[in-house]
Structure 1
Amino acid sequence: MLSIVTFNDTEKWNEIVKNFKAYDVYYLSNYLKAFKVHGDGEPILFYYEDENIRAINAVMKRDVADDKRFHEKISPNTFYDLSTPYGYGGFLIEGNSTKGSMKALNEEYIALCKKEGIISEIVRFHPILKNSKNVSRMYEIDNLGKTITLSLSSLDEIWDNFNTNKKRWIKKAKKSGVEIYWGRSPELLSDFRRMYNRTMEKNNAKNYYFFNEEFYKSVLNDLPYNSLIFYALFENRIIGMVLITFANGQIHHHLSASDLDFLHLGPTNILMYEIACWGNENGFKTFHLGGGVGSKEDSLYKFKQGFNKNSDCIFSIGKKIFDLEKYNNLMKIRKKEDYFIETEVFFPSYRS
């Protein structure tokens, strides 16, 4: 009743996913491929079915031995854990979620993961789908903070939800001659990568966020119908870019970058507006912007909040330990390090 679909069976994987009414881009094998290229692990899809429910969970299976903290301390292909791919995910469940079916799903999930050598799982639940509610007995769930979602039901609603400051920036950009275009050529991806890396350097971002060329090629080639680059042009110069992903009525702000010499024109503001308008014209229902750094209501969150002062989405994470004995063994290895400080904030703690 519970099975694993491997990354090699892309056609079967996507057929299963697209049969779920609420599926999103984060569940497609083509999306996970880019993060396999990035080194985030091996993509797998869990699929469960009984007389009451169907359920899927798309994850990255990570070999703990690949973590630099465990180099030469444990053998490869021995200890694994699961993580939601970059973005959001968690179990999607359809049908009548009876206590019996949910109990059976949980028990089979634990048994299969232990059999596969999987020790723990960290989930970033989908703020729009609110799928953490269905699995509250399967995971330890923490609500971390708010994220911002734009409803795309009408152009008037999009504009009315912007605060006064956003409207002012958008009008200024238009008056200055900023124009918005979109595409997905190799040249655009190269331009995006250069601008994005400069933005990450300015923000002192972690190495993880500097994606290599192969990652961007995967986005271009493997998501031909689920990704676009919007870019702001001023006097024939690109001054801002946003990479979006989308599927099944939902658009997601994926990555963005700005030319530091043209921040006075606020290109990101007009880009977000035009993406929302494009979404409305093409029948999309929502445009999700995400939240602040570390789910805090920081300057980034407040910047995004300006696009919808009424957004009420909550970002939740789920924690699950499948094999407590092996989990504790990994913790013992880490505790031998003088600089290791155990924390309840980071999960799994042996990776902190």
Structure 2
Amino acid sequence: MNKDIYFTREYAQVNELIENGKSLYYEIKSRHGHITLGAIKREIDTPVDGERYYDLITPYGYGGPVIHECTNLKQLLSEFQECFTRYCRDNNIVSEFVRFNPLFQNQEPFREMYDVSYIRNTVGTDLECSEDTFQSEFCSSARRKVRKLLRNDKISCTLTRGFEDIEEFLEIYNDTMTRQHATGFYYFDREYFYEMKRQFGDDLFTTSVYYEDEIIAMGLYFISGNIIHDHLNGTRSKYLNFSPAYLLKYTAMNWAKENGFSVIHYGGGVSNSEEDSVLKFKKRFSNSTEFKFHIGRKIWNQEVYDRLCRMTGADTETDFFPAYRANDGQKKKVAV
């Protein structure tokens, strides 16, 4: 069974609180194997012939269909396609947009079912590549910043299992989003964090940098088997000159290394450019550890999809998918 947090029913449920939809967890088991698919089911604003339709999107981060067990791949995929096609038809689902998980490359078995495209690489810290991960994976400028922080007697960093300091984290995170002029999507509801704590408990941990007695930066991480996902981070604006984010990464790396994890995954940028500032920052902790990130597009009801495009005046040649949502204000940049 694949235990990655992004493939769980609970992760989809938590993301109902930020994705403007209802969670869907589709599962098929047979003598040929086991496949699951977690998604967010969103209502499409424009009715067709008075009837409501829906589309699917991967919850924040990664997901898509994933094979947990398999004895006959061809038969299993055939069963999944037949059953899920019927499900989508019966539930008025028009299209699906998938962000496949770059650590598991789960797009590969489904290439004939989805229109799969390679987008860019994501990055991480390989905790098994050498004895000295700090030296081998952190770039020289990152190492200098970490050493400077460690020499400062007024600065310290702690790591705590669970998610106890939600209010402190929320304050710091929102300060960061305001400073970066983030869209409303990134101001996650308070309930989202409390529900995450309720669902995942000790499969979460935080790193906190202190200046004397004040927390000045925090990071939130997921534990998934032998993988750690770096989820969200923030720094108080008045302490940016200390670059405490480097100490967050260093502390998480040390703990993960000591506890036998294989990789910390940071994700990618908010664009496809190699010059993306978010990606360039994450690469400072990833000397050569990269993962190929793919997306998948699927039209489950071509007739209704085409009608929605005509009704919304959508440009069907746009790269945005689904095209009928291109002008509805729901575009958002997600660092993945």
TM-score (norm 1): 0.85
Task: Check if 1:91 corresponds to 2:68.
Answer: no
1:143 aligns with 118
1:106 aligns with 81
Conserved in 1, the CA contact under 8 Å of 2:55 and 2:93?
yes
Give the whole-Å Cα distance in 2 for the aligned partners of 1:344 and 1:96.
40
1:17 aligns with none
1:174 aligns with 150
- Specify which of 187, 204, 216 is matched with residue 227 of structure 1: 204
Give the whole-Å Cα distance in 2 for the aligned partners of 1:96 and 1:185.
37
2:31 aligns with 51
Amino acid at match of 1:231: S
Conserved in 2, the CA contact under 8 Å of 1:63 and 1:76?
no
Return 340-349 or 238-247, whichever deviates more.
340-349
Q: Percent identity?
A: 29
2:310 aligns with 332
The Cα shift of 1:155 comes to 5.2
1:162 aligns with 138
Change (3 A) 1:56 1:185: closer
Change (3 A) 1:183 1:325: same
Q: How many residue pairs get matched?
A: 322
1:316 aligns with 294
1:346 aligns with 320
What are the equivalent positions in structure 2 for 1:26-41 lying under 5 Å apart? 26-41=6-21
Return 322-331 or 98-107, whichever deviates more.
98-107
Indicate the structure with greater helix content.
Answer: 1
Conserved in 1, the CA contact under 8 Å of 2:22 and 2:42?
yes
The Cα shift of 1:23 comes to 2.5
Give the whole-Å Cα distance in 2 for the aligned partners of 1:279 and 1:295.
29
What are the equivalent positions in structure 2 for 1:3-18 lying under 5 Å apart? none
Give the whole-Å Cα distance in 2 for the aligned partners of 1:186 and 1:288.
19
The Cα shift of 1:62 comes to 1.4
Task: Check if 1:211 corresponds to 2:188.
Answer: yes
Give the whole-Å Cα distance in 2 for the aligned partners of 1:318 and 1:281.
36
1:62 aligns with 42
What are the equivalent positions in structure 2 for 1:63-82 lying under 5 Å apart? 63-65=43-45, 70=46, 78-82=52-56
Task: Check if 1:301 corresponds to 2:288.
Answer: no
Change (3 A) 1:319 1:276: same
Conserved in 1, the CA contact under 8 Å of 2:162 and 2:204?
no
Residues 129-174 of structure 1: CA deviation (Å, up to 9, x unaligned): 1111111111101111111021223651343111111111110111
The Cα shift of 1:103 comes to 2.7
Task: Check if 1:279 corresponds to 2:253.
Answer: no
2:329 aligns with none
Give the whole-Å Cα distance in 1 for the aligned partners of 2:51 and 2:249.
43
Return 105-114 or 310-319, whichever deviates more.
105-114
RMSD: 2.1
Task: Indicate the SS of the match to 2:285.
Answer: coil
2:109 aligns with 134
Residues 174-213 of structure 1: CA deviation (Å, up to 9, x unaligned): 1123211133687621111111112111111111110111
Task: Indicate the SS of the match to 1:82.
Answer: strand
Return 163-172 or 294-303, whichever deviates more.
294-303
Amino acid at match of 1:114: R
2:242 aligns with 265
Give the whole-Å Cα distance in 1 for the aligned partners of 2:198 and 2:184.
24
The Cα shift of 1:272 comes to 0.8
Conserved in 1, the CA contact under 8 Å of 2:57 and 2:96?
yes
Change (3 A) 1:164 1:39: closer
Task: Indicate the SS of the match to 1:240.
Answer: strand
Amino acid at match of 1:254: H
Give the whole-Å Cα distance in 2 for the aligned partners of 1:185 and 1:111.
40
Give the whole-Å Cα distance in 2 for the aligned partners of 1:221 and 1:117.
32
The Cα shift of 1:342 comes to 5.0
Change (3 A) 1:46 1:181: same
The Cα shift of 1:271 comes to 0.8
Give the whole-Å Cα distance in 2 for the aligned partners of 1:157 and 1:190.
32
Conserved in 2, the CA contact under 8 Å of 1:63 and 1:77?
no
The Cα shift of 1:56 comes to 1.1
Give the whole-Å Cα distance in 2 for the aligned partners of 1:229 and 1:60.
26
Give the whole-Å Cα distance in 1 for the aligned partners of 2:31 and 2:262.
31
2:333 aligns with none
Conserved in 2, the CA contact under 8 Å of 1:152 and 1:277?
no
The answer for unaligned runs of 5 or more in structure 2 is 327-336
1:16 aligns with none
Conserved in 2, the CA contact under 8 Å of 1:119 and 1:326?
yes
Task: Check if 1:195 corresponds to 2:175.
Answer: no
Return 33-42 or 269-278, whichever deviates more.
33-42
Conserved in 1, the CA contact under 8 Å of 2:210 and 2:217?
yes
